[in-house]
């Protein structure tokens, strides 16, 4: 049995509104219980409306990553086991064979948790239809509403009834995403849970100055000296994930890469080993930055700084969850100092710079006159110097899709 003593602030505000049939836009910090804020009213509404044979897909939950799909689907399935009437809950995502998912969808489903790309594949195979969807949830809505997913989301929305309830949840809602959400929500209740001192995640933020070419050596030193049992290390690219994890293994530190081009079986195994403490270090791209709930993860390291301040919020939110204390440590080199100041400005918080004995930086940051808010650090993971492959794809999609969502 699940045992929840009291609702969190986002649950307290969102659940009554959702039960009333209102559209909801909920913004709350990572680890604040957003999944239950939409899962509980969703299950109650479906319980009050008995399933038909064959089952009609009535509730659709869209998420941006495979791991989040599995996590959310598992949570909803666990909650639904306590209902008097059985609900059929199917989770679908890419990176694995589509055939078992098509078989599972035979006879319909009450709830589908999906990534947009795989859902479109299933629709093309006539494995399901969206004509009866009465409740749509976007989890990590800011990611689903940005240009990376906008074309896919637009195609899916066109297949759903316009008269439906929408529940959008995320830890961040940038201004441009809010504008898109406004076009999709009908008279929504907007909930923004402020980060109060008593509810703020207990995350100690640290910024360590180090030359870029000595980051791996410093990472090995910190893992060893601090006896960190589990560390999630964020890098900019899949190539960096492979290289850094390989160097750690050569130093007899059990590490594995985690990125979008790994097979789903490998990604699942890496996460399972990490959660079970069979694996000490995971070196990941931002595919691991959102939604993943890794219990009692003590340390997150930004080996490369994220491309945006919002991604920084999501990254460090992997630690300090559920009342646990966590550490978020960022490596700052001469050419990333200006970018980290932008991150500090966004979160309205300064982080004291540290120097580790034996790793004192030799490179000096560029003159202030040469830096600006669009200054370009040299690492591929920071916004500014050159567009990444994903940026180019997003730009192409924006040009090819007429109008906005």
pLDDT tens-place string over residues 307-329: 888 889 889 988 887 667 899 99
* Residue 169 and residue 234 share a domain: no
Q: Which domain holds residue 163?
A: 9-192
| pLDDT surpassing 60 at residue 399 | no
* Residue 120 and residue 235 share a domain: no
Contact in structure between 16 and 40 (CB atoms under 8 Å): no
Per-residue confidence (pLDDT) for residue 31, from 0 to 100: 73
Q: Please count the structural domains in the chain.
A: 2
* Residue 148 and residue 79 share a domain: yes
Reported confidence tier of residue 1, pLDDT bands at 50, 70, 90 = very low
* Residue 242 and residue 265 share a domain: yes
> Is the residue at 151 inside a domain?
yes
The pLDDT tens digits for 240-257 are: 999 999 999 999 999 999
* Residue 152 and residue 54 share a domain: yes
Say what angle helices 66-80 and 264-275 make with each other, to 10 degrees.
60
* Residue 160 and residue 33 share a domain: yes
Residue length of the chain? 405
> Is the residue at 399 inside a domain?
no
Of 192, 227, 255, the one marking the end of a domain is 192
> Half-sphere exposure of 203 toward its Cβ, with a 13 Å CA cutoff?
30
User: How far apart (Å, rounded) are the C-alpha atoms in residues 405 and 402?
Assistant: 9
User: How far apart (Å, rounded) are the C-alpha atoms in residues 366 and 364?
Assistant: 6
Residues 10-23 have a mean pLDDT of: 95
| pLDDT surpassing 80 at residue 405 | no
User: How far apart (Å, rounded) are the C-alpha atoms in residues 54 and 105?
Assistant: 11
> Is the residue at 215 inside a domain?
yes
* Residue 227 and residue 158 share a domain: no
* Residue 63 and residue 210 share a domain: no
* Residue 48 and residue 127 share a domain: yes
| pLDDT surpassing 50 at residue 371 | no
> Is the residue at 197 inside a domain?
no
* Residue 294 and residue 182 share a domain: no
Is this model's pTM higher than 0.75 or not?
no
Residues 221-227 have a mean pLDDT of: 96
* Residue 115 and residue 65 share a domain: yes
* Residue 156 and residue 92 share a domain: yes
Per-residue confidence (pLDDT) for residue 204, from 0 to 100: 92
Contact in structure between 33 and 8 (CB atoms under 8 Å): yes
Per-residue confidence (pLDDT) for residue 254, from 0 to 100: 95
β-bridge partners, 91: 113
């Amino acid at each position: 049995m699940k045992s929840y003593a009291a609702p969190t602030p986002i649950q307290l505000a969102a659940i009554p509104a959702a039960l009333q049939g209102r559209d909801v836009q909920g913004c709350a910090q990572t680890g604040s219980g957003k999944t239950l804020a939409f899962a509980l009213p969703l299950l109650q509404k479906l319980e009050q409306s008995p399933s038909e044979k064959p089952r009609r897909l009535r509730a659709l939950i869209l998420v941006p990553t495979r791991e989040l799909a599995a996590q959310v689907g598992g949570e909803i399935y666990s909650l639904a086991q306590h209902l008097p009437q059985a609900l059929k809950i199917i989770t679908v995502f890419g990176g694995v064979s589509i055939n078992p998912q098509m078989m599972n969808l035979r006879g319909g489903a009450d709830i589908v948790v999906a990534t947009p790309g795989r859902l479109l594949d299933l629709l093309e195979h006539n494995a399901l239809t969206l004509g009866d969807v009465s409740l749509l949830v976007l989890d990590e809505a800011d990611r689903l509403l940005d240009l990376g997913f906008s074309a896919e989301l637009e195609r899916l929305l066109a297949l759903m009834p316009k008269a439906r309830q929408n529940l959008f949840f995320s830890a961040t809602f940038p201004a441009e995403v809010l504008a898109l959400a406004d076009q999709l929500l009908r008279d929504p209740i907007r909930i923004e849970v402020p980060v109060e001192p008593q509810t703020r995640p207990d995350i100690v933020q640290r910024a360590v100055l180090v030359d870029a070419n000595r980051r791996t050596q410093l990472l090995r030193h910190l893992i060893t000296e601090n006896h960190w049992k589990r560390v999630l290390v964020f890098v900019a690219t899949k190539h960096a994930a492979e290289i850094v994890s390989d160097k750690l293994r050569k130093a007899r530190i059990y590490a594995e890469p985690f990125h979008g081009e790994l097979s789903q079986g490998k990604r699942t195994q890496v996460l399972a080993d990490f959660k079970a403490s069979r694996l000490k270090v995971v070196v990941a791209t931002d595919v691991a930055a959102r939604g993943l709930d890794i219990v009692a993860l003590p340390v997150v390291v930004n080996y490369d700084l994220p491309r945006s301040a919002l991604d920084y919020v999501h990254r460090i939110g992997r630690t300090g969850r559920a009342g646990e204390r966590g550490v978020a440590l960022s490596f700052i080199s001469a050419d990333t100092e200006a970018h980290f100041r932008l991150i500090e400005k966004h979160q309205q918080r300064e982080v004291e710079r540290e120097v580790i004995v034996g790793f004192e930086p030799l490179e000096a940051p560029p003159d202030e006159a040469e830096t600006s808010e669009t200054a370009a650090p040299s690492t591929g993971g920071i916004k500014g110097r050159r567009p990444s492959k994903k940026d180019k794809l997003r730009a192409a999609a924006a040009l090819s899709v007429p109008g906005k969502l």
